[in-house]
Amino acid sequence: MNNTFSTDYNAQNVTDYPNNNTYFLVWNFKDSADPDKIKSVFQRVCALVINLNNSALDRFPDSKASCVMGIGYEAWQQLELPQPLPKEFKKFQEIRGSKHTAVSTKGDLHFHIRADEKSFAYDMASTISGYMKEIADCVVEVQGFRYWDSRSILGFVDGTENPHGKDRDHFAIVDDSDLQYEGGSYLFVQKYTHNLDAWKSLSVEEQEKVIGRSKDLDIEMEDDVKPKNSHIALANIGDDFKVVRDNMPFGNVSTNEMGTYFICYASTFSTVEKMLTNMFIGNPPGNYDRILDFSTAQTGTLFFVPSLDMLDEFSG
């Protein structure tokens, strides 16, 4: 692995660590909206995102607050943004296995808002929505929260395999191999809902076999013990192929609709595709990720996160 990664770029906050409160917003442009109006509001929103981040840093430097904006493939074309496209940027195609499917859903703009203070996250989400509602519909709004020691609602620690330090830049941010888009990042998201009744019917030992780790201490099973269809065995595809995950649990206890918003930033989307193929089709085919028997992907969208410098150019 190359640890001499260049940092001569101005990336958005894609490598920030998860915190206590998160808003995930996906907006789709209205068919009825005037194209020139869409472009005008988009320019203002690009400037707004830069402003929100600068303001957060100046006013509340310890709040760990940030907003990252990603742009969908169709929106990139509609807005007539730079060509050629980032090398691996495309419309995500569903991955259909013998039993489970990683669905593909439309998303024009994605906003990932983090803050330790829930009120700060709310204010940023509300301000962005005030701009966007004139030209677009919000198709996904998820309010994520930190569950104990960074566990998913299934009770297991989430994100143990995340890279740290300089490796976060290496695995999350496009380098100078795609010079026009250096400092950008591929953003992939899926909203999963969990069948908690079925999950809770399993013993702790059975749950651990599904995940491939111990529940209490988060220790990975030895290879000769870990099931070949466990989540760890299939989702982790090698030390040279990692992404930066920022997953958060969400839910409504009264309806028992609880889930995980899967979000990752990657320097190459092919890494994400390989991981999803392992999970949904299986390695070998048919040996799919057992966690999918309890977790259903409701969405699946690829976005590209431009660098702050490019975002500033987009703002006009």
pLDDT of residue 175: 92
For 132-186, the pLDDT digits (tens) are 999 999 999 999 999 999 999 999 999 999 999 999 999 999 998 888 999 999 9
pLDDT value at residue 276: 98
Q: How would residue 7 be classed by pLDDT, with cut points 50, 70 and 90? A: very low
Average confidence (pLDDT) over 275-300:
98
pLDDT higher than 80, residue 247? yes
The pLDDT of 287-310, averaged and rounded, is: 98
Q: Percent of the chain beyond pLDDT 70?
A: 97
**pLDDT greater than 70 at residue 2:** no
3 pLDDT above the threshold of 60: no
**Confidence at residue 156, expressed as pLDDT on a 0 to 100 scale:** 98
pLDDT for the residue numbered 9? 64
Q: Residue by residue, what is the 3-state secondary structure of the chain?
A: CCCCCCCCCCCCCCCCCCCCEEEEEEEEECCCCCHHHHHHHHHHHHHHHHHHHHHHHHHCCCCCCEEEEEEEHHHHHHCCCCCCCCCCCCCCCCEECCCCEECCCCCCEEEEEEECCHHHHHHHHHHHHHHHCCCEEEEEEEEEECCCCCECCCCCECCCCCCCCHHHHHHHCCCHHHHHHCCCEEEEEEEEEECHHHHHCCCHHHHHHHHCECCCCCCECCCCCCCCCCHHHHHCCCCCCCCEECCEEEEECCCCEEEEEEEEEECCHHHHHHHHHHHHCCCCCCCCCHHHHCEEECCCEEEEECCHHHHHHHCC
In this prediction the pTM is: 0.96
Question: pLDDT, tens digit, for every residue of 33-64?
Answer: 999 999 999 999 999 999 999 999 999 888 89
Q: Please state the rounded mean pLDDT for residues 254-273.
A: 95
**pLDDT-derived band at 6, boundaries 50, 70, 90:** very low
* For residues 238-259, average pLDDT: 94
The residues assigned a catalytic role are 158
Could you give the percent of the chain with pLDDT greater than 90? 92
